[in-house]
Amino acid sequence: MQETTPPQKIELEVLLPNDYKDGETDPKDWWMSEKLDGVRAYWNGRCFYSRNGNAFKAPVWFTKDLPKDMHLDEKLYAGRKKF
């Protein structure tokens, strides 16, 4: 089976952060960490896309073991205080 080239841009609706307003939400039992530098990446099982839906390439060594049957919405970590 011949693999097709993924679209260069797709429409995405990703979750985006909201401002925290003290007293509106009880953060008890939340887990959080420091902000790490990186790039938001949506994996559709074949290709990475930015939060704006633009395709970008990742090395085969990085993508070869990623799941082909599920979508991931994460951040590609680029270092700490280096972005």
Query: What residues are annotated to the active site?
Result: 35
- Does an H or E element contain 77, and which? strand 72-79
64, 43, 73, 72: which is closest to 55 by C-alpha?
43
Spatial separation of the C-alpha atoms in residues 22 and 41, rounded to whole Å: 30
Phi, psi dihedrals of residue 73, rounded to the nearest 5°: -125, 100
